[in-house]
Amino acid sequence: MKIFFFAIVISIIFLKPTVAQNSDTQNLCVGAHYTEKEGKEVLTKLREEYQTKEAWLKRTQIIKQGILEGADLIPFPKKTPLKPRYSEERKYDGYSVKNVAIESLPGVFVTGSLYMPEKKQEKMAGILSTHGHWGNKDDYGRYRDDAQNRCISFAKMGAVVFAYDMVGYGEMGEAGWEHHHPLAFKQQLWNSIRSLDFILSLENIDPERIGVTGASGGGTQTFMLTAIDGRVKVSAPVVMVSAHFFGGCVCESGMPVHKNENHQTNNVEIAAMAAPRPLLLVSDGDDWTKNTPVVEFPHIQYIFKLMGVENRVEYVHLPDDKHGYELSKRKAVYPFLAKHLKLDMSVIQDKNGAINEKGNVIESYEKMKVFSASNPLPDYAILSNNKVQW
């Protein structure tokens, strides 16, 4: 319950003051927008609206339009050169890593780390790793052990992995960017789109084998990006898809992406827009995903059945787990992404078939930074959310 309480506190402290700056606050669906009972009833009513594949596809266009309009991403900003800047490569057993910054817009540097398999293939899968709102600087964002472990393991399995900082985290935060900003959803979703552009621009990447996964707020980024960008081929949002909870941070629900005069949706429908692409839900018994087996998954499974791909959606529910992306959740995600992205699971298994993350080198925050005295942040870098020219 501590994590749940933390999310509510974040909603109260940060969300209410900042969303007041948005002009469409009456259409915001914030945090626990419904009770659990109401969320279930909404799904029951929605099911009546689409009883054929054609009806669902029509619904997806309305939802996608609502997300993009609500995020003020119609039309898209111009996609300017990414201009990646790399640190020196660090080689480890079975993989290597180097830090990289890309420009999602001129002067807007998105910082992250690129993990590569030791054995390069002619065609390799690509995975985006998003992170949630773990804000303790000693247990922080993409630098957390759980985030590094999954990136390393995916790389050992044969994928190229890009883990990047959410708006206002890591080096973006050090530079002056704020996470709790009225336009955080727009800025973050655009950074995710450009991060997808980046991974697809790399040599030997197979565009038909692109996945994205993250937990909590990173789970929100996972299903939002999948919903609006068909280049994502496999999606695994962890501990976030809920019928009644819409996300307690401005980067999830601080812009009117769930509701406008033409529609109202929820994160269950948005996650289901992955269909016919494979989708995995991972849930636990201690947060807003506790009802997944009886509420959220049946509705999403119904939609996948309408699409004729019922076998492409799965869920793993861990009733004794809490909110996070710890090993128990990674054990669920590894085989799913391995199956659909054609990765080699055997390299992270011991002789008994158990997942083995031994040998993964967890790096320090300082080692994972892109910019330094020898590779300084350019003078033209934008250091504030408010100074972006869209």
Check pLDDT > 60 for residue 17: no
Per residue in 259-287, pLDDT (tens digit) is 999 889 999 999 999 999 999 999 999 99
Question: What global pTM score does this model have?
Answer: 0.93
Residue 377 maps to a domain: no
At 5 the pLDDT is 38
pLDDT at 144: 95
Residue 349, in any domain of the structure: yes
In this predicted structure, which of 168-182, 235-249, 272-286, 328-342 has the lowest mean pLDDT? Answer: 168-182
Beta bridge partners, 215, equal: 238
Per-residue pLDDT tens digits for 195-211: 999 999 999 999 999 99
Across 337-343, average pLDDT: 98
Task: Return the pLDDT at 213.
Answer: 98
Residue 262: predicted pLDDT: 86
The model's pLDDT over 98-130, given as tens digits with 9 standing for 90+, comes to 999 999 999 999 999 999 999 999 999 999 999
Residues 244, 41: Cα–Cα separation, whole Å: 10
Residues 125/210, Cβ–Cβ less than 8 Å: yes
The tally of domains found in the chain comes to: 1
CATH number at residue 63: 3.40.50.1820
Are the C-beta atoms of residues 159 and 343 closer than 8 Å to each other? yes
Across 32-46, 73-87, 134-148, 247-261, least confident range:
134-148
Q: Residue 246: its pLDDT value, please? A: 96
Amino acid (one-letter) located at 84: P
How confident is the model at residue 23, as a pLDDT?
52
Q: Judge whether residue 8 has pLDDT over 80.
A: no
Answer yes or no: is 269 within a domain.
Answer: yes
| 386 assigned to some structural domain | no
Residue among 181, 186, 180 at smallest CA distance from 71: 186
Q: Is residue 124 part of a domain?
A: yes
Q: Which domain holds residue 308?
A: 1-354
**Lowest mean per-residue pLDDT among 5-19, 137-151, 245-259, 334-348:** 5-19
Cβ neighbour number for residue 75 with a 10 Å cutoff = 6
The full 3-state SS of 77-142, as one line of letters, equals: CCCCCCCCEECCCEEECCEEEEEEEEEEECCEEEEEEEEEECCCCCCEEEEEECCCCCEECCEEHH
Question: 317 lies in a domain?
Answer: yes
What value does the CA radius of gyration of the chain take, rounded to a whole number of Å?
20
Q: What is the pLDDT of residue 117?
A: 98
Let me know if residue 383 belongs to a domain: no
Distances in whole angstroms, Cα of residue 343 to Cα of each of 130, 146, 339: 20, 20, 7
Q: Is the pLDDT of residue 158 over 90?
A: yes
363 falls within a domain: no
CA distance 209 to 199: 11
